[in-house]
Amino acid sequence: MEKSDLDKIESEYDRTEIIKTLKSDEEKIKFIDGLKREWNKVQIIKTFRSDDRKIEFLDKMENETSIVNIIKSLQDDNKKLQNLYRVQDEIQKASIIEEFTDDDKKIKGLEQIKLDLARRHIIKTFKSDDKKISLLDKQKSDSYNAYIIKTIKDDNKKIECLEMISNEDYKIDVIKTLKSDELKIKLLPKISSWDNKVSIIITFQDDSKKIEQLENIEKEEYKVKIIQSLKSDEFKLKLLETIQSEKNRLKIIQSFQDDNVKMKKINKITDEKEKIKIIQGLQSDDNKIFMLQYIKEEINRVIIIKGIQDDNIKLELLDDIKSELNKIQIIISMQDENKRLKAIGSLSNEENIIFVVSKFKNEEIKLRAIKKINEKIYESYKELLIFNKEMRLGKNRKTRHKYKMLGLPKNMTIGMEIEAEGEYGELLPERIGYWNVKQETSLDSGKECTSPIMYDTDTYIYQIYKINEILSNMEMKITPKCAGHVHIGADYIKTEEGFKELLELWGNSEEIYYLISNKQGELPREGIKEYATPISVVFEKDDFTEEKKDCFIEDAKEKQVDRYKSLNLLNVNNGKNTIEFRLSNGTLDGNTWIENIRLYGRTVQIAQELGQIKEKIDKGIPINEEEKRKYALKEMLKDERPIDEKMEILMEILFTEEESQVYRKRYELNKRIEEKEHSMEVLEFGKVDFQEVYESVEIPQGIVDEIQEEREEIGQR
């Protein structure tokens, strides 16, 4: 084969499969360097005929799993043994040794294994019982020795090895594995606990030997366990009469194999709940149906019907059930979703129908069911399925909406959580495109739709608009309880100075953020004080120490206490690693979402820039005019000044004149509404100034003067 022919094949997987079919190792080697993925190279190396050729490639492998796979493929155990040193992980190393064909070579391999877990897995694979026994060690744990002894084939040798175990429970584990009932019986007198004795007896193969042991047992509870373990229903029936307690008799009846034997005994039982347990255990659907006549309570009949295997029978029995809630239980228990589709015709309450349809897995059948509920929702769900297909195929339509981009850095990650309520929300699948949908327990009939990790691209802009459109078309609604949380990747801020600047920028403008984080004419939702309280009061200078200034973000998280703040830092440096902005109300308006994401994302972006400026100041590095202006503006937010002036300062820091217009309009109208309603009077805002807290930071006086002059000049303007 020519390299040029192979290069025409785009898929590396396909190229790998072709190379594997070549007859000569030398020919395969010619093409290996052309592959990028180490895993594909390994798949080819494993097919080499020559062990030496395989070994030549071991030094070129970066991944230990690759090395392990190549060593395992060697034909010669000696060569496997010689190359074990290349593997550091003892579990991986043990997996190679386990495949050796010779016990003596496995023993050689054990010299390189210290971990007990790995050693016992190797010893278990020995062919020779004597070699296993030679490696038992009283210095090892009982669990270690018991594990090995249980793998010994010869019963007598197992018994001889019991002296290597001191704990009776581990001895019992070994005794249970003996093949001979006679040997087990001989060992019973040496067992002190009756619980342990009974646990051995029930492992006997011969029923008659189990029955013989009953004569030595007084406690009825133990007798019942042994009787339950008998294979023969005939023996169980005879012994049933020796049991006094009705509860214990029921346990034995439930253990019968033959339905007819169980059914003969059912009528003598007065407790309907106990009857149900026995009927549920019947093998035949016909027998379960026959026994329904003896069950009075409908809910108990439902329990039995749910256990019937045949969905057609369940369909027929639905007519005898009066309660819709009970019918739902039966319908959901049906395996065939086409039968479920038929069954929903027996329901009249739309909420109940929606609940049943929400459990469908087959989207085609689910769509047919939705059509029976609501034609408009049917069309909306069809559009949802088209969107899902587009996402699977990697297709994205171009957005025809107001915003084409967010206006944020390309390397900034973004996430959002859409909360909404609506009865048809139950019909939503667990995934819409790459967005997760789950129940939101803080809402009535609520759903939370969580985005994947997003970036500022037209792909994600389209998805934001489309998801909101789908939810609206599914008649999801925003209620006063709904929130609209935005997450910005915390890794965008590179230093602790950046996080300090974020808290100063946010904390000294927090009242403004409460006014501009929702669309025009909308103030923060009713639960804002409970779920997104101001964070500025947490970081007041008089209430914050510099004891942990070398790990500022962890100190700040500890001080924050819970996530229910306007700005939540608790996700930083954990699995999510995001800064969560919790202020915004819920919305299904794509424009509002994008404006909110831009507001919060830009805040993080500027905080990072301010942190870099601060680091320059600390080091005495000159800063340019634009940096002076930006830092001076941020410092001005700390001053006592009218909120309107602070709004102008914040807009100048964050946005261009054109970008700021949407937030200015929000501010003007929302502030007027607040002046009438006073809904934010319950909130308390503070001042955040880490410069005063961290007094050990020395700032060259010249730069301080320049920034102060810039502040004064800006103030005059």
Angle, helices 142-149 vs 116-124, to 10°: value is 10
What is the model's pLDDT at position 92? 94
Distance between CA atoms of residues 595 and 660, nearest Å: 10
Query: Please, which residues have CB within 8 angstroms of residue 16's CB and are 6 or more apart in sequence?
Result: 35, 40, 43, 44
How many whole angstroms from its chain centre is CA 626? 45
Q: Burial of 268 by CB count in 10 Å (0-12 exposed, 13-18 middle, 19+ buried)?
A: exposed
Pairing of strands 446-450, 414-421: antiparallel
Q: Report the side by side order of strands in the sheet with 414-421.
A: 431-432, 435-439, 446-450, 414-421, 484-489, 578-581, 567-568
C-alpha 641/C-alpha 370 separation (Å) is 58
- Predicted local distance difference test score (pLDDT) of residue 539: 86
Q: What pLDDT score was predicted for residue 699?
A: 41
Q: Quick one: which of 149, 127, 123, 154 has its CA closest to 138? A: 149
Q: 638 near 504, Cβ under 8 Å? A: yes
Determine if residue 114 is left, alpha or beta; phi over 0 gives left, psi from -120 to 50 gives alpha, anything else beta. alpha
Give pLDDT < 70 ranges for the chain. 1-8, 541-550, 691-717
Q: How far is CA 175 from CA 205, 238, 358, in A?
A: 13, 29, 51
The count of residues in the chain is 717
Which pTM was predicted? 0.69
The pLDDT of residue 604: 97
Predicted pLDDT of residue 441: 86
Residue type, 565: K
Q: Which of 593, 595, 594, 585 shows the shortest CA–CA distance to 522?
A: 585
**What's the pLDDT score for residue 703?**
47
Q: Are 501 and 607 in contact (CB under 8 A)?
A: yes
Per-residue pLDDT at 7: 65
What amino acid is encoded at 416 in this protein? M
Alpha helices in 46-166 (DSSP H): 51-56, 64-73, 77-82, 90-97, 103-110, 116-124, 129-134, 142-149, 155-161
**pLDDT 10s digits, 271-306:** 888 889 999 999 999 999 999 998 999 999 999 999
> Residue 716 has what pLDDT?
56
pLDDT at 9: 79
pLDDT for res 540: 75
Chain centre to alpha carbon of residue 222:
43
